[in-house]
């Protein structure tokens, strides 16, 4: 084993090139599998027993009770019914969009005033929310100033903290509000989450529509239920998360095929380099073989030395590629997908096993001709080559 490891240290056998080629291919393929598994698992949560998998929105207040009744009749209880009020941010501590545009040094982001906000009102936090600062106010009187709770990311974006004063344009009506709390929201969970949540008692009577969620067991039942919703409520939009999951799987499969092809091509390049390396270093390996056989090594021992050499090479390349893939996937999960990264240990072990096995098999097959060559034939051939070289050199010098 020690001899095999020493033989794989970079020399004429181009170990570094092999590690780069095979390791890069392993990294590409492993990263694709890990990211694909991450994305599928994020959406697959909607198919859990306790999670909703059908979303209905644009429901008018006059339709809410009828739609609930229809869902209950079909055996699909409404798991969540949330009122939504559309509005725009009018001012932050007295600063309006006009002030921000006029003063480029103002810390308030001008984009905060341009986008439409879809807010809700309720008297408590949901399971996907936790307070980071302030106190959540669930209800205010009719004559009291509105109290709002902001998502942490949104509050940081518009440079707002607890106690600041905001004004919202609720479809033409200016509503002043005070920031009572900042919330940390888990946006990865399939449920209604909002950047702005009002306390009950302020915008309850504002023009609004409802969002509802339910759980439908099978695709066939989902299709039938959607048809009944469309027939009874043509304005209501329905999203089936099972269908979304299926489409996402198809898209990821297509993207995955391209990336896996690139990874396989890189590994194939590494295999070609491996074969070429064995061919190029053939005479070096013959000398090593003759030396080992002369020192008393059996053919079995030489086989074990060769296997250990390619085993070490394949294992080092595969581990390098997997480590790169794990780091890349972790960074994508945290900074891009904002999700918890839990790699599949089984998939990683299978990939390492396949890469190592492939490297050992290819290297061993291409080394058989060298290993099986007898020392006497190798020495005779080596002496003849040296005699021919000496004769040709002498003839060339005489002619010169």
List the beta bridge partners of residue 130: 184
Percent of the chain with pLDDT over 70: 75
What stretches of the chain show up as alpha helix (H) in DSSP? 2-7, 15-44, 61-74, 97-102, 111-114, 152-157, 219-232, 241-280, 282-294, 299-331, 345-371, 375-399
Average pLDDT (355-369) is 77
List the beta bridge partners of residue 210: 59, 83
Neighbours of 54 (CB within 10 A): 24
Q: Is the pLDDT of residue 189 over 60?
A: yes
List the beta bridge partners of residue 81: 212
Which tokens is 117 given? 């906000």
Q: Is the pLDDT of residue 399 over 60?
A: no
Average pLDDT (289-293) is 64
d(CA 289, CA 282): 10
Which tokens is 154 given? 């949104």
Q: Is the pLDDT of residue 10 over 80?
A: no
d(CA 199, CA 122): 6
Q: Which residue has the tokens 């091509």?
A: 265
- The DSSP symbol for 145 reads P
Where does the pLDDT of residue 394 fall: very low under 50, low under 70, confident under 90, or very high at 90 and above? very low
Query: What pLDDT does residue 287 have?
Result: 64
Where does the pLDDT of residue 87 fall: very low under 50, low under 70, confident under 90, or very high at 90 and above? very high
Q: Which residue has the tokens 């030395």?
A: 305
Neighbours of 322 (CB within 10 A): 23
Task: DSSP for 64-106, please give it.
Answer: HHHHHHHHHHHT--EEEEEEEEEEEEEEETTEEHHHHHH-TT-
């Amino acid at each position: 084993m020690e001899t095999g490891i020493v033989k794989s240290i970079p020399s004429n056998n181009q170990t570094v090139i092999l590690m780069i080629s095979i390791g890069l291919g392993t990294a590409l393929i492993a990263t694709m599998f890990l990211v694909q598994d991450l994305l599928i698992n994020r959406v697959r949560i909607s198919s859990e027993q306790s999670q909703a998998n059908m979303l209905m929105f644009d429901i008018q207040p006059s339709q809410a009770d009828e739609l609930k009744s229809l869902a209950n009749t079909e055996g699909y209880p409404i798991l969540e019914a949330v009122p939504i009020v559309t509005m725009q941010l009018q001012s932050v501590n007295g600063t309006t969009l006009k002030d921000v545009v006029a003063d480029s040094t103002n810390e308030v982001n001008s984009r905060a005033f341009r986008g439409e906000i879809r807010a809700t009102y309720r008297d408590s936090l949901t399971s996907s929310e936790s307070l980071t600062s302030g106190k959540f106010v669930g209800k205010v009187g009719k004559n009291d100033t509105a109290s709002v709770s902001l998502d942490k990311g949104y509050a940081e974006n518009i440079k707002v903290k607890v106690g600041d004063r905001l004004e919202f344009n609720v479809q033409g009506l200016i509503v002043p509000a005070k920031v009572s709390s900042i919330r940390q929201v888990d946006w990865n969970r399939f449920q209604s989450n909002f950047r702005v949540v009002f306390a009950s008692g302020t915008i309850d009577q504002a023009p609004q529509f409802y969002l509802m969620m339910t759980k439908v067991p099978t695709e066939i039942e989902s299709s039938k239920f959607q048809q009944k919703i469309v027939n009874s409520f043509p304005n209501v939009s329905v999203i089936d998360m099972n269908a979304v999951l299926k489409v996402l799987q198809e898209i990821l499969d297509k993207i995955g095929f391209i990336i896996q092809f690139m990874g396989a091509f890189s590994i194939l390049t590494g295999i070609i380099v491996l074969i070429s390396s064995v061919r190029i270093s053939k005479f070096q390996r013959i000398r090593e073989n003759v030396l080992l056989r002369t020192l008393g090594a059996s053919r079995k021992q030489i086989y074990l030395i060769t296997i250990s050499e390619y085993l070490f090479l394949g294992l080092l390349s595969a581990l390098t590629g997997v480590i790169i893939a794990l780091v890349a996937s972790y960074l994508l999960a945290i900074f891009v997908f904002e999700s918890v990264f839990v790699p599949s240990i089984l998939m990683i072990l299978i990939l390492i096993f396949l890469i190592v096995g492939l490297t050992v098999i290819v290297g061993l097959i291409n080394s058989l001709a060298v290993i099986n060559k007898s020392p006497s034939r190798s020495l005779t051939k080596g002496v003849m080559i040296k005699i021919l070289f000496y004769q040709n050199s002498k003839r060339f010098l005489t002619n010169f």
